[in-house]
Amino acid sequence: MYEVLLLQPHEAEGLPWRLVCLRIARDRHLVIWGFDHTAFDGMSAEIIRHRLESGAAIVAGAGESRHSNGREEPHPQKYSDYVDLLRQGPQDLTENELIRFFALRKWTKLSRELMDRLTESGGGAGRFEFIVPLAATGGTNALAASIRLAVRMLSEYTGMADIPLAIVSYGRSYRGRDFFNCVGEFLDLVPLVMKRGRSPGETLSLLEKCREHGINFMSLLLDSELARKYGRLASLLAPFYQVADEPKPLVLFNFQGAVSEEELKAFAAAEATDAPDNALARFAVTARVEGSNLAIIMESVDGIREERMREIADRLLSGDETVDE
């Protein structure tokens, strides 16, 4: 039932979710709700689950709708407010400044070169996983450390000093407005050129710039009015972002945060059934915290020379070197 509801692709003409309630004991039921990203994101699923649990507690007379810390549940914000905010476009930045701050002309040039080099270096397995003790990151922010490590590995693997990434951003905060208790689709892909010696702080500062100025690259591409207003930016990113029916020609970086054992089992089931033809990007890097470790998973439709990547990864952790140096 999990496989049917969670792992099968959604049809374009159907609902973007599947829901079933199973009776698994006389007085016990299991609700399985599988959804597509066109419906809402993963954080939204947690919000919905919390509300369902709070509602069940009220029905059972076991409590009120409150947070686990005892505070009253805040009133949910409107997703339409978030959409209206994005439709206003970036604030206090011109299109030229946007292109310059994010080095988009360089990003497009490097992305083409990187795709060529990854194809030339391809072959072997389509997946490579590397486990890093969090202690080896020198106490650095796990997101920044995982980006830094992935960039160093790709740099050595391809021979390129600068690596272009499309970083998945869970953008729920824009221009001082937070939407952390709102259900909807909030994902963005932020194009960043990562230099091998770039500090983690520089990476996070560019992501902060998106929040501060209301920059959402997907809305600049997919909203027709914004795409016309930011036509030069859209023309630079569209060949990489708006590719249909095949993996996008870019390196997608997704930091999933800390995950539970239950989530790891779900990931394993999904990864075991995913075909390379259904990949979102030509090359994808997923990072997540698993207990006291940082897991880096690389997947490529062109294949990965596992021995070469393993040699690079092991060298980064050899001796007293930390992945943050």
Q: Rounded to an integer, what distance in angstroms lies between the CA atom of residue 261 and that of residue 301?
A: 27
**Which pLDDT score is estimated for 197?**
67
**Is the pLDDT at 227 greater than 90, yes or no?**
yes
Handedness of CA 150, 215, 278, 272 (dihedral sign): positive
How would residue 323 be classed by pLDDT, with cut points 50, 70 and 90? very low
Q: Give pLDDT tens digits for 16-67.
A: 888 899 999 998 988 888 888 888 888 888 888 888 888 877 887 765 555 5
> What percent of the chain has pLDDT above 70?
88
Burial annotation 106-120 (CB, 10 A radius, 16+ → b, else e): ebbebbeebbeebbe
**Is the pLDDT at 324 greater than 50, yes or no?**
no
Give the tokens for residue 249. Answer: 């020609």
- Pairing status of strand 125-133 against strand 162-170: unpaired
pLDDT averaged over every residue in the chain:
85
**Is the pLDDT at 69 greater than 50, yes or no?**
no
**Which pLDDT score is estimated for 271?**
62
Q: Is 269 exposed, middle or buried (0-12, 13-18, 19+ CB in 10 A)?
A: middle
**Which pLDDT score is estimated for 275?**
45
**Which pLDDT score is estimated for 66?**
52
Average pLDDT over residues 138-166: 90
How would residue 270 be classed by pLDDT, with cut points 50, 70 and 90? low
**Which pLDDT score is estimated for 325?**
43
Q: Is the Cβ–Cβ distance between 7 and 38 less than 8 Å?
A: no
**Which pLDDT score is estimated for 278?**
64
